Amino acid sequence: MTILAKGRYRVFEAQSSVEIARCLALRATVFPADRAAGDEYDARCRHVMIEDIRTGTAVCTFRLMPLANGAEIGASYSARYYELGKLGAFDGKMVELGRFCIHPDHRDPDILRLAWGALTRIVDDEGVEMLFGCASFQGTDAKTHADAFAFLHQRHVAPPRWLPRVKAPRVVALARALTRPLDPRRAMAAMPPLLRTYLTMGGWVSDHAVVDDEMGTMHVFTGVEIGAIPPARQRLLRAVAG
Protein backbone atom coordinates (compact mmCIF):
# COMPACT_ATOMS: atom_id res chain seq x y z
CA MET A 1 0.00 0.00 0.00
CA THR A 2 1.60 3.26 -1.15
CA ILE A 3 1.78 5.98 1.51
CA LEU A 4 3.68 8.61 -0.44
CA ALA A 5 5.40 8.90 -3.82
CA LYS A 6 7.55 11.81 -4.92
CA GLY A 7 10.29 12.12 -7.49
CA ARG A 8 12.20 8.88 -7.84
CA TYR A 9 10.99 7.32 -4.56
CA ARG A 10 7.91 5.50 -3.32
CA VAL A 11 7.08 4.92 0.34
CA PHE A 12 4.81 1.97 1.03
CA GLU A 13 3.67 -0.28 3.84
CA ALA A 14 4.81 -3.87 3.32
CA GLN A 15 1.85 -6.24 3.19
CA SER A 16 3.06 -9.58 1.86
CA SER A 17 5.64 -11.90 3.37
CA VAL A 18 7.88 -11.16 0.38
CA GLU A 19 7.74 -7.40 1.01
CA ILE A 20 8.38 -7.83 4.73
CA ALA A 21 11.34 -10.09 3.93
CA ARG A 22 12.79 -7.28 1.81
CA CYS A 23 12.52 -4.93 4.78
CA LEU A 24 14.26 -7.41 7.07
CA ALA A 25 16.99 -8.07 4.50
CA LEU A 26 17.81 -4.38 4.27
CA ARG A 27 17.88 -4.14 8.06
CA ALA A 28 20.34 -7.03 8.23
CA THR A 29 22.56 -5.22 5.74
CA VAL A 30 22.71 -2.08 7.86
CA PHE A 31 22.69 -3.80 11.26
CA PRO A 32 24.90 -6.89 10.81
CA ALA A 33 23.91 -8.20 14.24
CA ASP A 34 20.23 -8.08 13.32
CA ARG A 35 18.78 -11.35 12.11
CA ALA A 36 17.37 -11.54 8.60
CA ALA A 37 14.46 -13.46 10.13
CA GLY A 38 13.63 -10.49 12.36
CA ASP A 39 12.92 -10.52 16.09
CA GLU A 40 9.99 -11.16 18.39
CA TYR A 41 8.64 -7.62 17.93
CA ASP A 42 8.29 -7.74 14.16
CA ALA A 43 5.02 -9.67 14.19
CA ARG A 44 3.39 -6.84 16.16
CA CYS A 45 4.74 -4.09 13.92
CA ARG A 46 3.88 -2.49 10.61
CA HIS A 47 6.82 -2.40 8.20
CA VAL A 48 7.48 0.52 5.88
CA MET A 49 9.88 0.64 2.93
CA ILE A 50 11.16 3.31 0.60
CA GLU A 51 12.24 2.09 -2.80
CA ASP A 52 13.84 3.70 -5.81
CA ILE A 53 11.07 3.56 -8.42
CA ARG A 54 13.54 3.44 -11.32
CA THR A 55 15.54 0.46 -10.06
CA GLY A 56 13.25 -1.21 -7.52
CA THR A 57 16.05 -0.97 -4.94
CA ALA A 58 15.07 -0.87 -1.26
CA VAL A 59 16.79 2.24 0.12
CA CYS A 60 15.17 2.69 3.55
CA THR A 61 13.01 0.79 5.99
CA PHE A 62 11.55 1.18 9.47
CA ARG A 63 8.89 -0.46 11.60
CA LEU A 64 6.02 1.03 13.55
CA MET A 65 4.35 -0.37 16.66
CA PRO A 66 1.03 1.41 17.34
CA LEU A 67 -0.10 1.68 20.97
CA ALA A 68 -3.53 2.81 22.13
CA ASN A 69 -1.91 4.80 24.97
CA GLY A 70 0.90 4.70 27.51
CA ALA A 71 -0.65 1.77 29.35
CA GLU A 72 0.63 -0.47 26.52
CA ILE A 73 4.19 0.86 26.46
CA GLY A 74 5.54 -2.12 28.37
CA ALA A 75 5.09 -4.19 25.17
CA SER A 76 7.43 -1.93 23.17
CA TYR A 77 11.00 -2.70 22.15
CA SER A 78 12.19 0.36 24.05
CA ALA A 79 10.80 -1.05 27.29
CA ARG A 80 13.47 -3.79 27.14
CA TYR A 81 16.09 -1.14 27.89
CA TYR A 82 14.33 1.71 29.72
CA GLU A 83 12.02 1.88 32.72
CA LEU A 84 9.08 3.73 31.16
CA GLY A 85 6.64 3.79 34.05
CA LYS A 86 6.09 7.55 33.84
CA LEU A 87 5.04 7.30 30.19
CA GLY A 88 2.39 4.80 31.27
CA ALA A 89 0.30 7.83 32.19
CA PHE A 90 0.30 9.18 28.63
CA ASP A 91 -3.34 9.16 27.55
CA GLY A 92 -3.11 9.51 23.77
CA LYS A 93 -2.21 7.25 20.86
CA MET A 94 1.49 6.45 20.55
CA VAL A 95 3.70 4.89 17.89
CA GLU A 96 7.11 3.37 18.45
CA LEU A 97 9.45 3.99 15.51
CA GLY A 98 12.14 1.32 15.32
CA ARG A 99 14.91 -0.24 13.24
CA PHE A 100 15.11 2.86 11.07
CA CYS A 101 17.88 2.44 8.50
CA ILE A 102 18.99 3.78 5.14
CA HIS A 103 21.00 1.71 2.67
CA PRO A 104 24.67 2.73 3.01
CA ASP A 105 24.98 3.17 -0.77
CA HIS A 106 22.02 5.56 -0.97
CA ARG A 107 22.55 8.80 0.96
CA ASP A 108 20.18 11.07 -0.96
CA PRO A 109 18.73 13.50 1.66
CA ASP A 110 15.34 13.13 -0.06
CA ILE A 111 15.12 9.62 1.42
CA LEU A 112 15.07 10.89 5.00
CA ARG A 113 12.76 13.74 3.97
CA LEU A 114 10.24 11.33 2.45
CA ALA A 115 10.44 9.02 5.44
CA TRP A 116 9.37 11.88 7.70
CA GLY A 117 6.73 12.92 5.18
CA ALA A 118 5.25 9.42 5.32
CA LEU A 119 5.41 9.41 9.12
CA THR A 120 3.66 12.77 9.18
CA ARG A 121 0.85 11.43 7.01
CA ILE A 122 0.44 8.37 9.27
CA VAL A 123 0.50 10.51 12.43
CA ASP A 124 -2.11 12.91 11.04
CA ASP A 125 -4.38 10.24 9.55
CA GLU A 126 -4.38 8.09 12.69
CA GLY A 127 -4.40 10.75 15.39
CA VAL A 128 -1.06 9.80 16.91
CA GLU A 129 -0.03 12.06 19.80
CA MET A 130 3.46 10.78 20.60
CA LEU A 131 6.23 9.23 18.54
CA PHE A 132 9.06 7.48 20.37
CA GLY A 133 11.88 5.00 19.97
CA CYS A 134 15.59 4.35 20.46
CA ALA A 135 18.00 6.58 18.51
CA SER A 136 21.27 4.75 17.90
CA PHE A 137 24.88 5.88 17.73
CA GLN A 138 27.27 3.52 15.93
CA GLY A 139 29.90 2.01 18.22
CA THR A 140 29.99 1.42 21.97
CA ASP A 141 32.82 3.78 22.97
CA ALA A 142 31.18 6.65 24.88
CA LYS A 143 34.18 8.91 24.26
CA THR A 144 33.37 8.90 20.54
CA HIS A 145 29.93 10.36 21.27
CA ALA A 146 30.90 12.59 24.21
CA ASP A 147 30.09 15.93 22.56
CA ALA A 148 26.72 14.71 21.31
CA PHE A 149 25.83 13.23 24.69
CA ALA A 150 26.79 16.43 26.53
CA PHE A 151 24.77 18.51 24.07
CA LEU A 152 21.73 16.29 24.63
CA HIS A 153 22.15 16.58 28.40
CA GLN A 154 22.33 20.36 28.31
CA ARG A 155 19.43 21.01 25.94
CA HIS A 156 17.21 18.03 25.27
CA VAL A 157 16.64 15.80 28.31
CA ALA A 158 13.01 14.74 28.77
CA PRO A 159 10.76 16.72 31.10
CA PRO A 160 10.54 15.12 34.57
CA ARG A 161 6.97 13.90 34.01
CA TRP A 162 8.13 11.58 31.15
CA LEU A 163 11.79 10.93 32.04
CA PRO A 164 12.78 7.26 31.49
CA ARG A 165 14.68 5.60 34.33
CA VAL A 166 17.63 3.22 34.16
CA LYS A 167 16.82 -0.41 33.43
CA ALA A 168 19.65 -1.77 31.23
CA PRO A 169 22.77 -3.22 32.91
CA ARG A 170 25.22 -0.99 31.02
CA VAL A 171 24.47 2.71 30.70
CA VAL A 172 26.37 5.97 30.38
CA ALA A 173 25.03 9.11 32.08
CA LEU A 174 24.88 11.90 29.52
CA ALA A 175 25.88 14.44 32.16
CA ARG A 176 29.23 12.73 32.75
CA ALA A 177 30.12 11.96 29.13
CA LEU A 178 32.29 15.00 28.38
CA THR A 179 35.43 16.12 30.22
CA ARG A 180 36.32 19.02 27.90
CA PRO A 181 34.36 22.18 27.00
CA LEU A 182 31.34 21.43 24.81
CA ASP A 183 31.60 22.29 21.13
CA PRO A 184 27.95 22.54 19.88
CA ARG A 185 29.00 22.46 16.23
CA ARG A 186 30.98 19.26 16.71
CA ALA A 187 28.12 17.82 18.76
CA MET A 188 25.52 18.37 16.03
CA ALA A 189 27.87 17.01 13.36
CA ALA A 190 28.15 13.78 15.37
CA MET A 191 24.38 13.46 15.88
CA PRO A 192 22.69 10.64 13.90
CA PRO A 193 20.41 12.13 11.19
CA LEU A 194 17.28 10.52 12.63
CA LEU A 195 17.94 11.96 16.08
CA ARG A 196 18.81 15.35 14.62
CA THR A 197 15.38 15.44 12.99
CA TYR A 198 13.69 14.47 16.26
CA LEU A 199 15.43 17.39 17.97
CA THR A 200 14.32 19.92 15.35
CA MET A 201 10.75 18.83 16.13
CA GLY A 202 11.17 19.54 19.84
CA GLY A 203 12.02 15.95 20.72
CA TRP A 204 13.63 14.95 24.00
CA VAL A 205 15.83 12.09 25.20
CA SER A 206 16.62 9.98 28.24
CA ASP A 207 19.31 11.26 30.61
CA HIS A 208 21.45 8.20 29.86
CA ALA A 209 22.58 6.14 26.89
CA VAL A 210 22.31 2.36 26.81
CA VAL A 211 25.27 0.28 25.66
CA ASP A 212 23.94 -2.40 23.29
CA ASP A 213 26.81 -4.81 22.72
CA GLU A 214 24.65 -7.15 20.63
CA MET A 215 23.96 -4.44 18.05
CA GLY A 216 27.30 -2.69 18.45
CA THR A 217 25.59 0.62 19.25
CA MET A 218 24.70 3.03 22.02
CA HIS A 219 21.21 4.47 22.06
CA VAL A 220 19.07 7.00 23.84
CA PHE A 221 15.33 6.87 24.35
CA THR A 222 13.76 9.57 22.20
CA GLY A 223 10.26 10.97 22.24
CA VAL A 224 8.35 13.79 20.59
CA GLU A 225 4.89 15.00 21.51
CA ILE A 226 3.13 15.80 18.25
CA GLY A 227 1.24 18.77 19.66
CA ALA A 228 4.52 20.37 20.81
CA ILE A 229 6.19 20.36 17.37
CA PRO A 230 6.91 24.00 16.41
CA PRO A 231 4.35 25.32 13.89
CA ALA A 232 7.01 26.12 11.28
CA ARG A 233 8.32 22.56 11.45
CA GLN A 234 4.79 21.17 11.22
CA ARG A 235 4.22 23.16 8.04
CA LEU A 236 7.43 21.83 6.49
CA LEU A 237 6.56 18.23 7.34
CA ARG A 238 3.03 18.54 6.00
CA ALA A 239 4.33 20.13 2.81
CA VAL A 240 6.31 16.93 2.18
CA ALA A 241 3.40 14.72 3.25
CA GLY A 242 0.87 16.55 1.08
Instruction: State the pTM of this model.
Output: 0.95
Each domain of the chain, given as residue ranges in start order, spans 2-241
CATH of 2-241, one of 3.40.50.300, 3.20.20.70, 3.40.630.30, 3.90.650.10: 3.40.630.30
- DSSP state at residue 7: T
Number of Cβ atoms within 10 Å of the Cβ of 37: 9
Q: Supply the Cα-derived Rg of the chain in whole angstroms.
A: 17
Over residues 149-185, the pLDDT tens digits come to 999 999 999 999 999 999 999 999 999 987 788 888 8
Read off the pLDDT band of 93 (50, 70, 90): very high
Number of Cβ atoms within 10 Å of the Cβ of 111: 19
Res 242 pLDDT > 90: no
Name the average pLDDT for the chain. Answer: 95
Residue 213 contacts residue 170 (beta carbons within 8 Å): yes
Beta strands in the chain (DSSP E): 2-6, 9-13, 46-52, 58-67, 82-83, 94-102, 130-138, 165-166, 171-173, 204-205, 208-212, 217-225
Res 130 pLDDT > 80: yes
- Taking each helix axis from N to C terminus, what angle separates 231-241 and 109-126, rounded to the nearest 10 degrees? 100
Strand partners, 137: 218
Phi/psi for 133 (5° steps) reads 170, -165
Over residues 182-203, the pLDDT tens digits come to 888 889 999 999 999 999 999 9
